[in-house]
Chains A and B, each alone.
Chain A
Amino acid sequence: MSESASRTPALKLALALLLALGLLVGTASAQDPQPVYGGTVTVAITADPPGWDPTISTSQEIPRVMYHNVYEGLVRFDASGNIVPALAETFTTSDDGLTWTFNLRSGVKFHDGTDLTVDDVIAKFERAMDTESGHTNPAYYASIESVTSPAANTVVFQLSQPSRGLLYNLARPDSIIYPAAKAETQRSEPIGTGPFKFVSYTEGSQVVLERFEDYYIAGVPYLDRAVFRIISDANTRFAALQSGDIDLIGVALQPEQYLQVASNPELKGTEGTATTEITLAMNNSRAPLDDLRVRQAITLAIDKDTIVNGANFGLGTVIGSHMSPAEPYYIDLSQTYPYDPQRARELLAEAGYADGFTIHFELPEPYQTERRAGEVIAQQLRAVGINVELSVVEWGTWIQRILLGADYDMTIIGHSEPRDINVYGNPDYYYQYDNPRVRELLAEAEAATSAEAETAAYQQIAQIIANDAVNVWVFSPPYLVAARQNVYGFWQDQPTPAIDVTGVYKTN
């Protein structure tokens, strides 16, 4: 679970302790064998990323390899999703929440041998704040007015308004820090501060990382090398794990593959939380979906349990709004409109569609979970008289026409960005949902003075959008990992899309 840091010094200590514990223990449980130093672990990933710089591209394939392994920011997520110190040793916030002071760790080296200085940090955040620079997600840093260094090893953020989300954003992959002098070449020659340094990339084949001897924490990492092999086909990936060609699959493991792990004595698997919501998105501005009763009817016609059991082999949690059980403000709203096809028909008739209507339901080609869920949904909707025309859309077209152009009726996609419920405040987002009350609550959450107030605001938003049946949030799939028996220390939850191998070790 994530926590936002508060202003008390006590928490500073707790964070430091957490850091020490977190790094040494990682995700190892009591029965795991003692860590072994040395060796190479081969991890499967699904695609080539467009370059290696997570600050110029939002592709999740970049942090998957780079986050914490190679790049770090002021703070980062640990295996359980807590925000722990990274390049910043400690930090404090002023009483009014407008001044954040970070104390940089001293003696940190970049992989090219140069020292980390406050100039690198300042250069990074100035770029991040500049909407013209091409830095990803400038909105994350919108509350920062200025970043300065009044004393050695100290960085001060001056905010224009209190921002509860800022600490979380500082832990995101976008907020990593690299040498200011080498900003332009990061995409092909990434240089960070993490326990591994980037060695080589063979396009279409693999990325190789090696232990960085001068990492500022002694004893980290355990491995000598980490190889990330690119295997885009799910079956080939799993076959490679079964044959021992690779050691770990920490992304896109299919549920049916996870089930096979149980019967294979050479493999083991874990099932943890992830921040993904499989969302049946509806174009709220287009008839007949602009009618609340129709959207409610669609929600009522869908049997989410069957989808989880039938299409995802029982792996997943039924949800009722735009949040996964991994989010700190999660509440179970799945009973807002529980499965009731009879009532669905009644509502459709009330809305004037006693004979049903025709609707185009578009599935995104690359995503198997969404496609399967979509097929089952289509059947369930047909059972209440809605004539669903299914089609598969190629990814580039999906992004252009559906996401950016909002030219669609219904589609389904997994939203895996954590804490992205704020999209419901954007009337131009592809849901085409316009509710000023939601925007008010978002602002309240951002400016809240306590974690409780922030959570309450988010929960209100979740309730509102659930009641408005903006979309149908079908389920949240778990984070599934499969590994060879002798691999330990990998993340079992997924607070951010990263395959963190800093705590991984391999016994013989």
Chain B
Amino acid sequence: MTRSDVTAQVGQDSQGERRAQAAAAPLPGALAIGLRRGVVELKQFFRQAEFVVFTFSLPAIILILLGSTFGDTDPAAGVNVSQILTASMIAAGFISTSFISMGVGVALDRQAGTLKRLRGTPMPATSYFIGKAVLVAVASVAQVTLLLVVGTVLFDLTLPTEPAQWLTFTWVFLLGIGSCTLLGIAASAIARGANAAAAATNLIYLTLNFTSGVFITISALPDAMVTASSIFPVKWIAQGMRSVFLPEEAAAAELAGQWELGTAALVIGAWLLVGLLLARWTFRWTNEPG
């Protein structure tokens, strides 16, 4: 008997045994794997110091620069422009930690072969997205906290005391990061490669923040520009955040003269569905031809 004959025979016995055991042992659940992926995603995110600093500091720096430049009272809103900016930039902050982070992060996972390697394991796709959702949630809460600190310390932003306002905050935040995460995942697949994804998501992000009245107050922008931007979610997420952090009378400065929370919910909710469909249709595990 040659070595390979022996190996083959030993192999077949233990193979048969293994098959029987493999068939019996239950596969780990998608949620359990997803939460473990969340831990791994967070470790990877927070260990890349330069990435963390850039992600978190950019919205804060923009807020400090713009808030210090346009500090005067907005006559239409009756509050300081810096407070309006803070409320809007909170939205921009978590749009960044969801839309841009996912657009670039998933594209990087595809480019580095992480996704292809995962595809070769019994990890369900759902678990990968649960892991990403954990990362987005933690990074977004951290981002919002940082901007709230900057806003209250530098620009006299007062935190709302009404539970109703915190309720609004919660649903706008959740719908916002949900839709932007899904749209980011879709953007990662539409762009080819991580650099293209970074360029595309940043361009969309900066443009919409400008035209939706985030970087510059709505009252200072041409009506037509804001109206055109109203089909996109950024305007409505920012408006929702302004309704939470600004006094009721500041609604007068909005295009419609009110907060329009119902419309905001509809538009952001619609983008959540669009994002879900786009992410599903466009998702792929590699950049290679199948």
User: Do A and B come from the same complex?
Assistant: no
User: Which B residues are closer than 8 A to A by beta carbons?
Assistant: none
